[in-house]
Chain A
Amino acid sequence: MKIAISADGPNLKAQVGHRFGTSPYLIIVDVASGDIEAVPNPGASGQRGAGMQAVVLCISRDVKAVLTGYCSPAAQKQLRANGIEVLTSLNGTVGEALEKYSKGELRTSARVKPIKGKAIVARGALIHAIRSSAKQFTTLLPVLVGVVLVLGLFNAFASRDFLTSIFSGNPVLDTLWGACFGSIFAGNPINSYIIGGELLKYGVSLFAVTAFVVTWVTVGLVQLPAEIAALGRRFALIRNAISFILSIPIALLTVLILNLIGGAP
């Protein structure tokens, strides 16, 4: 069984961390084997959501009890809901807290019993789940409306003739253009197949059409604001950048393998 002790330092001589969410370390102890691991607390930065980051770490490490000075009610609720015991109001060194826990000296006032047993879907829980989901939606809805309006503009102004006029016949440049246009446009992938098929008829290379089809779904400049709002700026920008870059080798490999096998359309 593992327990986690919030700590100001990475060893047993460190003081017990006053706050679970923002203490510099979480000392994870396997009570059975005696193994000790000092893990940097992901919530130590103290930014918003710090407590939840520490909670997620404890859950992922299969911790069964948390020992700390203070744990916020929200974090306690999440820990208890996942069957993790929470013991607060601790001070002294980590080693002293561990010894007290091992001797059962903490089984009185500081102990908060975990909630056990099967969850019953009460009406209150259902209402809370609906409210929570609705809140997520309403937060993102304005951005989604903006994205839909942009798509309308693209559908109105971009035409197949416009696209075919851009491709010059240079395979390298056309592949890049294909990736660029696929990144800008969005919508049902079936549209990319139709447009791609037309581009092939006009003599655009299969490299370009493949890059176009790939980036149509995997890269989304139009929906980037929505992705940033939902998943964070760093995630959205890096994911789209990697997907764009990857479309080039995927396009090259697809066509090269196809030509090797002899199955070109």
Chain B
Amino acid sequence: MAIFPVAMLAVYGILFLVMPDKASMALKSSGTVFLNMLVPLCLVFVLMILINLFLKPAQIVKFLGRGAGIKGILLPAAAGIISTGPIYAWYPLLRDLKGKGAANSPIAIFLYNRAVKPFLLPVMIAYFGWVYVVILTVLMVLGSITVGYSLDVLTRKEDG
């Protein structure tokens, strides 16, 4: 996995030679993205510590494992909707949960419901109108269940 960031650094190196202005712009933009990621990353780190301390695998399996039922849909859907920050800041936590017994379906539902952002709804309504936003939001939540169920079926063999 170190190959990927090293390759990107090499690309930036070449870019600085051939298009220094664009390279500076790209690097500055990357810096902004990284800074914006810091606070959510810290939040995720604290959450991971708390989960490692207080949540036993049995509880994770009960709420997020295969066969968790409606809990395995509502809980990750709500978590996805209220989660903040870029998605890649949440990957360490999701990996941790998966390692402790969470099934693929709730993780997929969480990821999909990150598209629903209550605090951004006013902006979306301003551009597209509230009727559009309501329809799209409902369809996205239903879509998340479809993605979760499909993933569960398609990866069932892998989990045994």
**Residue in chain A with minimal CB distance to B56:** A82
Max count, chain B CB within 10 A of own CB: residue among A129, A137, A152: A152
Which residues of A sit under 8 angstroms from B151, Cβ to Cβ? 235, 238-239, 242
Binds B, one of A1-9, A10-18, A86-94, A187-195: A187-195
Binds B, one of A28-36, A101-109, A164-172, A214-222: A214-222
Convert A19-39 into 0s and 1s, putting 1 for each residue whose CB lies closer than 8 angstroms to a CB of B.
000000000000000000000
Total number of residue pairs linking A and B with CB closer than 8 Å: 221
Among B11, B15, B53, B135, contact of A121 (Cβ-Cβ < 8 Å): B53
Segment 144-176 of A: residues with Cβ below 8 Å from B: 144-153, 155-157
- Are B30 and A220 in contact, with the CB atoms below 8 A? no
- Are A226 and B88 in contact, with the CB atoms below 8 A? yes
- Are B94 and A258 in contact, with the CB atoms below 8 A? no
- Are A190 and B61 in contact, with the CB atoms below 8 A? no
- Are B95 and A258 in contact, with the CB atoms below 8 A? no
- Are B2 and A142 in contact, with the CB atoms below 8 A? yes
- Are B132 and A133 in contact, with the CB atoms below 8 A? no
Which residues of B sit under 8 angstroms from A187, Cβ to Cβ? 33, 86
Shortest C-beta distance, B99 to chain A (Å), equals 8
A234 within 8 Å of B by Cβ? yes
Q: Interface majority SS on A: helix, strand, loop or mixed?
A: helix
- Are A218 and B112 in contact, with the CB atoms below 8 A? yes
- Are A193 and B124 in contact, with the CB atoms below 8 A? yes
Which residues of A sit under 8 angstroms from B26, Cβ to Cβ? 149, 152-153, 155-157
Which residues of A sit under 8 angstroms from B75, Cβ to Cβ? none
A197 to B29, CA, bound (A): 22
Q: How many residues of B contact A (CB 8 A)?
A: 80
Shortest C-beta distance, A185 to chain B (Å), equals 12
**Residue in chain A with minimal CB distance to B130:** A263
Shortest C-beta distance, B90 to chain A (Å), equals 9
A223 within 8 Å of B by Cβ? yes
- Are A231 and B107 in contact, with the CB atoms below 8 A? yes
Report, as a range, how many residues of chain A touch the other chain.
35 or more
Convert A53-88 into 0s and 1s, putting 1 for each residue whose CB lies closer than 8 angstroms to a CB of B.
101100110000000000000000010011000000
Listed A/B pairs (21) with beta-carbon separation below 8 Å: A40-B160, A43-B160, A56-B57, A82-B57, A125-B53, A126-B49, A129-B49, A142-B4, A144-B88, A151-B29, A152-B27, A152-B31, A152-B33, A188-B36, A193-B123, A196-B127, A225-B4, A230-B94, A239-B147, A242-B146, A258-B135
Query: Chain B interface (Cβ within 8 Å of chain A)?
Result: 1-2, 4-5, 7-9, 11-12, 15, 22-23, 25-31, 33-34, 36-37, 41, 45, 48-49, 52-54, 56-58, 61-62, 65-67, 86-89, 91-92, 94-96, 98-99, 101, 104, 107-108, 111-112, 114-115, 117, 120, 123-124, 127-129, 131-132, 135-136, 139-140, 143, 146-147, 150-151, 154-155, 158-160
Q: Beyond A40-B160, A254-B135, A254-B139, list 11 extra A-B contacts (CB 8 Å).
A: A56-B61, A81-B56, A137-B45, A148-B30, A149-B12, A151-B30, A152-B29, A213-B136, A216-B115, A234-B158, A250-B143
